[in-house]
Structures are given as C-alpha cells and as structure tokens.
C-alpha cells in the first residue's frame, strides 16, 4: 500500500493550530520562512513515499536476521538509510553548531511523522539516534560531544538507549549493570541489557550505545545510576574506528510486529568489559536518560499518529475500491463500501482521531521551540510547562488510540483484513508496541497525575482549562450551528476534565492507590479533551480561511464536528470511571482476581 | 500457558443468572439434574485443559499446512479431535434421536466456551460442524439427515459452511456458484468459494460441505439461492465412502491469527462438477443458511468470551509472578505487578467484561432452551424473541470486547507481551477475526437496528428495559451501598438505552442513513447495558447466597460494582454518539475523506 504524506493537513495545522508564525519569528529560526518549510516537507515526503514506505511490508515479510552475533537488516534498509543520512535528515532538528540543520521541532516533527507512517521499524533507528544525540548534547563534555554526537547527527553512526534488564523494566531502580573505573579514566561495563532497539545491525559503520550502569560506590536505587557511552567499535582521537568493543548481540526477539527492527539482547563485558566513557556526572544517569526519554516519548506519540494515518489511508483506499452491498437509499446498485454508513463512520473516526492527535502533537512541538528559543523568560517557562504537560498525553493517548485505529482499519477490510497479504494486519501488529515501549501508558498516566497535575496542586492543568474556555467563547461568537455543537461538546468535556483535575488534586495525596487506579482514565480523558480542543480551533480556522481550498475546509469542519459528537462525549464516562472505580480497585485484593 | 475452565463461575451463572432450574424442569431435560450437569462440565474441562488447550500455542507456531490439494492439520490436532469425537462432545447439544446427547444449549454453551477458550482454531471445526448439523436437522429430508447428520453428530465427519465468494462477502445476493440438475435427481455444482473454515483437513474421514448456489431457473438476488450438501467423498446407500467428489482445496490463507484453522479456497467442479444434493426446497437456501448462521453467530460470541477469559487467565498468572516496581503505600519492597493499581484495574476490567459477557450468553442459551422445549406457547415465543434479540448483541459486543480484552492482556505483560513466545500476543491476533466472520459487527448492528428494534416499533426492546427496571427495584430494596451504586449506574444505562431505542424507532424509517451510521454505537450500548444488567443480577445473587463460598461472593460483588462504576458510564457516551454523529456521517461524502 502506498503512502502519501498529508502535507496539506500538516501545513494547515502548523499555520492555524500550532502557530508557526511565532516559531519562525524566533531569533534562531528567522531563516526559515513558510516557503522553505514547505519545500522541506515536500523533500521529506518524496524520500518517505518513494524509498522508505515501500519497505514497510518487506520488513514484515523479511525481518532483520540475527546470525552469530551479527544482524543483517531487511533487504533495502541499508540503501534507504544511506539515502536518509545523505539527505541530512538525521540532523534535521539538531543544532547547526554540531552539524545539524537546526530546523524547528515543529517542522522536524512533521517529517518524523512521515517517517514513522512510512515505516515504524525503519523510523525507530533515527528515533533512538535522536535520543542519544539529545543526551550527548545536553550532558556530555565537549570532547564526547564532538567524538560521538557529530557522527550521529551526520547519519554516519546510529545510537541506542540501554535501560532495560530482565529484572528492570519499568522499574529502573533495579538496574544491575555495573561500570568499573579504569586507570586511563575510562570504564569497563559488565551486564545484560534487553529490548535494545536497533542494538545491532549493518546499516551504519558504528553504533553508539548509551548505557545505564552503576559505579562501585553507587548508592542503591535510581540515585546510583550513571550514564555511559559505549561504542560498538572503539573510536580513536582522530575519529577513526578501532577495535571491536566487548559488547555482543546475543540474540534478537521474535516479535508481534515491527519485525524489521531488531530488538537485541546485548551482553556487555564477555571478556575484559566493554570500554565506556562517563557521560556528565556520576550518579546523574537517570536525569540524563530522561532527556532521551522525553524526546523519545514525544517521538513515540508521533509514531502513533503516523501508524494511525497509514492505517487510515490504507482502509480508505480499500473502501473506495471494494464493491459490496447496495446503496441504502438509492438505486439498489452495487456500491463501493465507502458509501455504507458504518464504513464511513469508521473512516471518519480514523480521520478525526488522527488529525486531532497530529494537531495536539504539533502544538506541543511549537511549545518546545518557544521554550528553547524565545528571548522572553516567561514565554520560555510557560511553554516548557505546556510541553512537559502534553508529552505524557501525546505518548499515552496517541499510542492507545493508534491501536484502536489500526483495529478499525482491519475491520473495514472485513475478511481481507485478516489475510496478511492485504497489509492492514501489519499496522494492527506494529501499533501494539507503541503503548508499551518508552514507558507504558500507566507510566505516562502516573507521570501525568503525579508530576504534571498534583505537584503544582493542579494549577497548570486548570490554566489549560481556562484556555479551552477561551476557545469556547470564540465558538460562541460564531452563529453557525456547527460551532454551537462544538462549543457544547467541548464545554462538557472541559468540565469533566476540571472535575477530574479537582479529584486528582484533592484525593491524590491521601488516597494515592484510589487515584492511581484511575490514572489511565485521567490521561485518556485529558487526551480526548485536549485533542478536541485542537479540533475546535481547527474548525474555527477552517471557517475563517476557506477561501484557499473550500473542499479541505468543508472536510475539516465536518471532521471536527464528528469528533465533537462522537468522541468528546467519552470524557464524561472517563471522569466517572476515574472518580468511581478507584475505591473498588483498592478493595479488590490480588487473591480476589 | 495452561487454561482452567472457570467452572465455579459457570455454575454460579447458570444457577443464579440464567435460571437453570427452569431449563432442567423442561420435559426434555428432566433427566439432567445439577449433579449430572456439573459432572459434564468437569469432564469437558478435563479434555479441554489437558488435551486441547496445550495445542493452542502449537497451532500458532505450526499452522495447518496445504500441499497439493491436501491439508495436514497441526501436529496433535488429529488425536485431539479423535478424543473429542470419542467422548461424544460433538453431539452434546444435538437431539438423542439423531445420536446426540440432547443436553440443554445452556450446558452445551458452557462446554463450547471451554473449547473455544482452549483453542479457537481447533474449536472452529466442531463449531462449523454444529452449524451444518442444525441446518440438516431443520431443513433436510429424513434420508439426507440420516446420511449426513448422524455421522456429523457422532464426530465421524466434519461440516463446513460455503457462503463467501470473491465478489460475495457480506452481500450474499452476489453469489454466482451454480448447480445444474442431473438425471438421477442430484446436482452438479460449479464455482469458487473462499474463506471456508476447515474446508480441507485430515482430522476426519469425510467433510460435508453445505454450499450456497444458484439453480438455472433461479431468480436474481438472495431469493435465488439454494442450499446443497456436497461431500468430499461420495457416500453410498449403506453409508460407506465412495469416490472423491469433484471439489478441490486450491489453497489456504496466510492469516493474522487462528493459524491452525485452515481457511480454504474451494473449487467446486474442476471437471464434471461436484455431486451435490438439494437441502430442503429450491431457492430457500438463505433461510436455511440463517439457521446455521444464527447458531454460528451465538457460537462466535462464545469464542469472544472464551478468548477473553483465556487472555485474562494468562495476564493474571503473569501479573502474579512478575516482580517489578515498589509497593505504592507500603514498605518500598519490590512487589508482583498484580499489586499495582493500574494492573489491578486492567485485570478487573478483563474479569468484569468476561463474566458479564458469559452471563448474557448463558441467559440467551437458557432462553433458546425454553423457546424450543417449553410446553407453553407463550413462553416459547417470549423466549424465542429474547434469544433472537440477544444473538446480534452477543456476537457483536462480545467479540468487539474480546479484541479490547486481549489487547489489555498484552499491555499487562509490558514488553514481554510483544514477544511471541509469551503467548499473550496470540490472543490479540486470534481475537481479531471474531468481529469479522459470521457477519461483521456492522452486519450484527444492522440486524439489531432493523429486525430486532425497528420491525416491531421497539416494543420488545422496551419490554427488555422494563425488566431491567425491575432489577433496579430489587436493588433499591437492599440497603447495601454497593447495591445503590449499582442501581444508579444501571438506571442511567437503561435510560440511555431507552433514549437510543426511541431514536432508532423514530428516525429509522425516515433517515435510515443517519441511524445506520450509529448502528454499531447502538449495539455496543445495548451490550454494555444488557451485560451490566446481568452483573446487577449477579450482585444480588452473590449477596443472598454467600454462605457457600464467601470469597467467591465477595469477588463477584466487587466485580459487578467495578462494572457499574467504570463500564456502564460508557452507555451515555454511546447514546450521545448514536444520536449526534449520524447526521455528520451522512453529510460527509466519500470525496471528503
């Protein structure tokens, strides 16, 4: 199934929802006007549509293969990665000072969405590399930055994140991998890391592993974790590659989906230990890892949006072609199934959910740009808070929804959806990892409850609700009945969200088990309302700018309205579940299950 | 992962929710007391747990294989099927007059649930055979019945249903397979049928295909379809097997799940035509096929419940074993993840949804028994109406929920859920076919809207709501706060259902496209409320009979309460979506997607 980057919706959303003007007027981004950005999106679309998307099904049929410690990537991946690197796409959002293109995160996010929609397995490699780059740029010494970050940014090497161990998944306090100081100032790392995405492959000359490990004098728990950089091949002073390091890929996993992406078990230190260098300060590894994690969590949310869009495009193409059944109202002639009300409902659900997720993610990306580059401290802070508030929602909500959307995609195909050759099932399988890796939905929800809501007593969350109420007032000023339907639905959703915030803040410290039992409900409620808010803003924008492309605007308004009518009502159900269900969960013991 | 038949909950539900006393006091079933029935369940459990469940993962790893027109079933399946046949399980619910055991459908349904929970791929073969038996018993001549139904009931042969053709999926009016009369009174069948479950295999000596085809003088559309019985091997007068018939298995499909179940493309008539015999009257095929379909639809609902229970058991076992993270409130010691609030929430959701589906299905099965065997005409009619009302809900709702439950099962496993060896992912893959085959969820929803609600102006649907209101009054009589929480939630759900019924009845004939665009919302709303009703009745029963097993009763009450608090609230959201979203779906054209 071919993929088309939804450039029109991307640009509309950047302009009218995420406010790209504010981003391009930042001092760092003045060189990027809208024309340049459009050209970047079109170049990215070309690479993704023509080279990377066609490899998606190939990777499912011919996964990357392990043999004797080495991994051979899916046929075609090496070449595609070369094109990706040569085009400078790895450095798209990274600073020009380190060899990157220095584009706003808003633009890089749209390109990342294309990449992930094209091929999640492939896209994971640049995504993990991005995380490694961020950590190195933020935490490493200038020497380490030059040694490792630059080749990563240039796409010469790739990066990995090594957190998980068999006994340490969501709970990093249980990490056992150890690092011993060596006379020359380097370290020797010993331990086993699992679930290492693209932990071994043949697409680049070197792999830069960022590894969580404990120093001999480390305190127990998360406060004793340090971050090390451990290259697959040792790197000389002049940047050339030396001996193979003592890190081995012992095996790769047999997975439900994203089969082209090798998920490695890495053994550090089979002999004298893997040579590593300390990144930043000792015992600060978790802090640095969160730099990678936050970038990665946002990026996984983009994967969810990408997969949802791909599943939508595939289902729509099928529904337009497949003739089955009769026209309900009309002639009794056979029709394409896209004409059937329930198929239209499913497609519209896929479209509305995907576009709403895209809008929320782009809003967050723009906030990140303002947070990093605004000259005004208060703007920076305000936007940093917004970005941090939104990341767990985008990761949690947009990935959970991607599973549901991919499932609808299968359903639209009917029996053909269950046949692997059709391709719909791959999205259903691929999507299923997204609510799990880089922090499960529960981990995101706990973050959203604890750090993002309770810590400031709900102040920021309520401030966001105030902004939603302002959009309601804008809607009230339009006489159009669609705006009034949207306003009422958004208002009901916002009020449910406010009630939930109040519940979380007032009960969270005294009855944490009750609140955390509903944390996922709270997160999903926030997701539905915040995405609905963006759909309301999209509706307003589409109504006031439909001179450009009336077909697009009409469709956008209808999609937003459909979101208001069928998705926003879930917010009350989620608020009720949050506030009502926790006590019962607490009362149920493990033995009663 | 081992499977344990939930006999305790099955018996509780049969006794206190489905009213087994009324069933066993029917003239045909007086020989079956509760003790006998318990013994049957235990024997069934033994076979399922020990022989059939262990083959589930085997079938996923080693699917049935096609080679040169033949299919070799997954290793172990042949022996298991022999045990199944020898135990008389194929005849469990079929009349003693034809060699069956003549047990109530209520009991047969519980055994079917065990079989499907053990192994959906395996269970499909007896399930389709059941359908063939029902059609033959109801529609075929005494000669055909003796010739074909008896060997099927005895498990000597297996049966198939041949409806679908490449251009005729949900729309059977498009069937093209033709049957030509032959001088000896038989027919010669020509055509291609696809998606034929267990259409070819080596587990039994013969396969009895029931095939929809058109006679030369047939009118177009569904009124020109006749039903034929076409055996793989011709059957002589004395019942012995003769020559191979002219029906070939051309290939089998490569599927997302239920891989051990061969899904065949059958070619009828490569040479002189496949010898077939007409079942019942000409042009009445669709009517007969619906006999099979209705039995099969109920059975697929049982598959949904079975898969959900299996996924639940697997996730619970994992959550009890997997140690990760700290106790939220307590000592800070590592704990099994079953202690974490969100994991408990997910497990409780799986448990509540599964048990509520089981309760609704058993209520329907008991209604079917009363409909067939009561001496009182009005009881028969009343229960036939209830059964027919519930079948699309059980098929539609319990299969959609099985996908969601299996997905939660993966989520509870975290990263391990994505690794195929763990087994959680198989349920997620297997479940995905259930909302598709034997009529997609949309087909069920259209049936529920059209035949089950609009046809009698909503009279029966509203009568069901009156019965729900009676349960609310029973709850009101209990002072216990759990009963009051349940009452309020059930009342809100019932009122949402009533509003939806009114909408469907009043708008259905004038604005069908609007109503059918929300048909799936309507079906799911009905599912949530009707299942919630059974949970309310379970709660009342558990409160009044907890002398027997207080642990079980306490758990049942909490599970029902959790259902009321977290699942029933969805009913209002679904009613809103039904009543609000259809107009927008109608307004959106295919070009706007």
Question: Average of pLDDT values for A184-191?
Answer: 97
* Residues B369 and B24: beta-carbon distance below 8 Å: no
Q: Domain for residue A237, yes or no?
A: yes
How many Cα atoms are found within 13 Å in the side-chain-facing hemisphere of A422? 26
Tens of pLDDT along B42-67? 999 999 999 999 999 999 999 999 99
pLDDT at residue B363, as a whole number: 98
pLDDT at A523: 98
Whether A146 and A244 map to the same domain: the answer is no
* pLDDT, tens digit, 9 for 90 and up, residues A111-160: 999 999 999 999 999 999 999 999 999 999 999 999 999 999 999 999 99
Domain that holds residue A192: 158-288
Give A329's pLDDT tier (boundaries 50, 70, 90).
low
Q: Is A563 on the interface with B (CB under 8 A)?
A: no
- Write down the pLDDT at residue B331: 72
Q: In this predicted model, which residue has the larger pLDDT, B307 or B327?
A: B307
Q: How far apart are CA B249 and CA B251, in angstroms?
A: 6
Q: Which of residues 26-65 of B touch A (CB under 8 A)?
A: none
Cβ pair A413, A399 in contact under 8 A: no
- C-alpha torsion sign, points B79, B85, B87, B92: positive
Handedness of CA A41, A304, A441, A163 (dihedral sign): negative
Q: Are residues A148 and A274 in the same domain?
A: no
How many Cβ atoms are within 10 Å of B321's Cβ, its own excluded?
Answer: 10
pLDDT of residue B159: 98
Of chain B, the end-to-end C-alpha distance in Å amounts to: 43
- A87 and A195 in a single domain? The answer is no
Tokens 């069920």 belong to: B444
Q: Are residues B118 and B236 in the same domain?
A: no
Chain A residues 67-126 with CB within 8 Å of chain B: none
Q: Report whether pLDDT(B546) > 80.
A: no
- The Cα-based distances of A397 to A337, A345, B113 in angstroms read 29, 21, 34
Per-residue pLDDT, A79: 98
pLDDT at B540: 97
Beta carbons of A558 and B429 less than 8 Å apart = no
A485: contact with B, CB 8 A cutoff:
yes
Q: Does A254 touch chain B (CB under 8 A)?
A: yes
- Residue A397 pLDDT > 70: yes
Percentage of residues in chain B with pLDDT exceeding 90? 93
Domain assignment present for residue A294? The answer is: no
Select from A349, A387, A339, A344 the least CA-distant residue to A366: A387
Question: Model confidence at A321, in pLDDT bands (50, 70, 90)?
Answer: very high
Do residues A116 and A181 both lie within one domain? Answer: no
* B432 domain residue, yes or no: no
- Residue A450 above 60 pLDDT? yes
Answer yes or no: do B103 and B162 share one domain.
no
**Is residue A254 situated within a structural domain?**
yes
Q: Which of B567, B584, B586, B589 to mutate to test the interface with A (most CBs of A within 10 A)?
A: B584
Evaluate whether residue B365 is within a structural domain: no
Length of chain A: 593
Quick one: average pLDDT of B487-506? 98
Residue after which a domain boundary falls, among A96, A131, A153: A153
Question: How many domains is chain A partitioned into structurally?
Answer: 3
Residue A299 pLDDT > 80: yes
Tell me: do A117 and A199 sit in the same domain: no
Regarding an ipTM greater than 0.90, the answer is yes
Residues B131 and B171 in one domain: no
Whether B110 and B231 map to the same domain: the answer is: no
CA distance A90 to A414: 39
Residues of chain B with pLDDT > 70, as a percent, come to 99
Count other Cβ atoms within 10 Å, centred on residue A49: 17
Task: State residue B294's pLDDT score.
Answer: 85
Please compute, for residue A142, the number of CA atoms within 13 A of its CA located in the half-sphere on the CB side.
1
pLDDT at A182 over 60: yes
Percent of chain A with pLDDT strictly greater than 70: 99
**Mean of the pLDDT values across residues A228-255?**
97
Q: How far apart are CA A379 and CA B322, in angstroms?
A: 45
Kindly state whether residues A162 and A135 are assigned to the same domain.
Answer: no
What confidence score (pLDDT) does residue B14 get? 98
Chosen from A253, A256, A409 to mutate, greatest number of chain B CBs within 10 A: A256
- Per residue in B61-119, pLDDT tens? 999 999 999 999 999 999 999 999 999 999 999 999 999 999 999 999 999 999 999 99
Query: Residue B160: in which H helix or E strand, if any?
Result: strand B158-162
Largest interatomic CA distance in chain B: 85
Question: Is pLDDT at B25 greater than 80 in this prediction?
Answer: yes
Note the pLDDT of residue B161: 95
pLDDT in tens, B180-207: 999 999 999 999 999 999 999 999 999 9
Given B153, B185, B204, the domain boundary residue is: B153
CB neighbour class for B191 (10 Å; exposed up to 12, middle 13-18, buried from 19):
buried
Interchain pair A345, B257: CB under 8 A: no
Identify the domain boundary among B131, B153, B175.
Answer: B153
Cα–Cα distance between B245 and A475 in angstroms, integer? 70
Residue at B372 is within a domain: no
Residue A317 CA to residue A327 CA, distance in Å, equals 19
Residues B90 and B145 in one domain: yes
Q: Which of residues 426-455 of A touch B (CB under 8 A)?
A: 428-429, 432-433, 435-437, 440-442, 445-446
- The reply to whether A576 touches chain B by the CB within 8 Å rule is yes
pLDDT tens for each residue of B399-422 = 999 999 999 999 999 999 999 999
User: Tell me, what's the pLDDT at B459?
Assistant: 98
Are A446 and A581 contained in the same domain? yes
Asked if residue B365 has pLDDT above 90, the reply is yes
A510 interfaces chain B, CB cutoff of 8 Å: no
Which of A323, A420, A565 lies closest to B255 in CB terms? A420
Residue B528's closest CA among B351, B385, B396? B396
User: Is residue A427 in a domain?
Assistant: no
Euclidean distance between CA atoms B268 and B246, whole angstroms: 6
* Spatial contact of A500 and A439, defined as CB atoms under 8 Å apart: no
Kindly report the CATH number assigned to the domain that includes residue B95. 1.10.540.10
State residue B7 phi and psi, 5-degree precision.
-60, -40
Our answer to whether residue B438 is catalytic in this structure is yes
What's the CATH code of the domain at B279? 2.40.110.20
Question: Closest Cα partner for A300 from A266, A244, A261?
Answer: A261
């Amino acid at each position: 199934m071919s993929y088309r980057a939804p450039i029109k919706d991307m640009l509309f959303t950047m302009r009218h929802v995420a406010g790209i003007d504010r981003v391009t007027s930042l001092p760092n981004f003045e060189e990027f006007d809208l024309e340049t950005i459009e050209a970047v999106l079109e170049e990215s679309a070309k690479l993704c549509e023509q080279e990377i998307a066609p490899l998606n099904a190939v990777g499912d049929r011919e996964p990357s293969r392990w043999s004797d410690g080495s991994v051979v990537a899916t046929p075609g991946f090496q070449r595609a990665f070369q094109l990706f690197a040569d085009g400078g796409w790895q450095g798209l959002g990274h600073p020009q000072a380190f060899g990157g293109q220095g584009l706003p995160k808003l633009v890089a996010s749209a390109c990342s969405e294309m990449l992930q929609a094209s091929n999640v397995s492939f896209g994971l490699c640049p995504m993990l590399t991005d995380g490694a780059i961020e950590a190195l740029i933020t935490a490493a010494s200038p020497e380490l930055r030059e040694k490792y970050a630059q080749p990563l940014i240039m796409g010469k090497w790739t990066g990995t994140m090594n957190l998980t161990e068999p006994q340490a998944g969501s709970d990093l306090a249980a990490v056992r991998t150890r690092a011993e100081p060596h006379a020359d100032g380097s370290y020797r790392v010993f331990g086993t890391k699992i679930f290492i995405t693209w932990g071994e492959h043949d697409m680049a000359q070197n792999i830069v592993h960022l590894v969580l490990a404990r120093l001999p004098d480390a305190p127990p728990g998360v406060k004793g974790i340090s971050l090390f950089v451990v290259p697959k091949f040792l790197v000389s002073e002049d940047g050339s590659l030396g001996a193979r390091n003592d890190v081995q890929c012992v095996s790769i996993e047999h997975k439900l989906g994203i089969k082209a992406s090798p998920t490695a078990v890495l053994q550090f230190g089979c002999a004298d230990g893997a040579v590593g260098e300390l990144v930043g300060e000792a015992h600060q590894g978790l802090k640095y890892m969160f730099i990678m994690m936050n970038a990665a969590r946002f990026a996984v949310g983009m994967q969810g949006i990408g997969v949802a869009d791909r599943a939508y495009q595939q289902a729509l193409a099928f529904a337009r072609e497949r003739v089955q059944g009769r026209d309900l109202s009309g002639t009794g002639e056979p029709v394409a199934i896209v004409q059937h009300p329930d198929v239209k409902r499913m497609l519209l659900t896929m479209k509305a959910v995907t576009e709403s997720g895209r809008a929320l993610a782009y809003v967050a990306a723009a906030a990140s740009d303002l947070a990093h580059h605004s000259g005004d401290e208060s703007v920076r802070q305000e936007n940093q808070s917004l970005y941090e508030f939104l990341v767990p929602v985008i990761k949690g909500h947009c990935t959970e929804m991607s599973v549901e959307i991919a499932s609808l995609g299968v359903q639209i195909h009917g029996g053909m959806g269950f046949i692997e050759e059709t391709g719909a099932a791959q999205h259903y399988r691929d999507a299923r990892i997204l609510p799990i890796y880089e922090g499960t939905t529960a981990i995101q929800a706990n973050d959203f409850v604890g750090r993002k809501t309770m810590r400031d007593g709900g102040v920021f969350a309520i401030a966001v609700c105030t902004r939603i109420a302002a959009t309601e007032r804008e809607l009230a000023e339009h006489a159009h009945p669609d705006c009034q339907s949207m306003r009422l639905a958004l208002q009901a959703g916002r009020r449910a969200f406010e009630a939930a915030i109040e519940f979380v803040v007032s009960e969270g410290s005294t009855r944490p088990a009750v609140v955390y039992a509903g944390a996922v409900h709270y997160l999903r409620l926030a997701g539905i309302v915040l995405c609905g808010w963006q759909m309301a803003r999209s509706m307003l924008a589409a109504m006031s700018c439909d001179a450009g492309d009336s077909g697009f605007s009409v469709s956008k308004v209808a999609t937003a309205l459909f979101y208001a009518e069928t998705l926003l009502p879930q917010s009350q159900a989620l608020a009720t579940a949050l506030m009502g269900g926790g006590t019962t969960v607490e009362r149920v013991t493990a033995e009663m299950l």
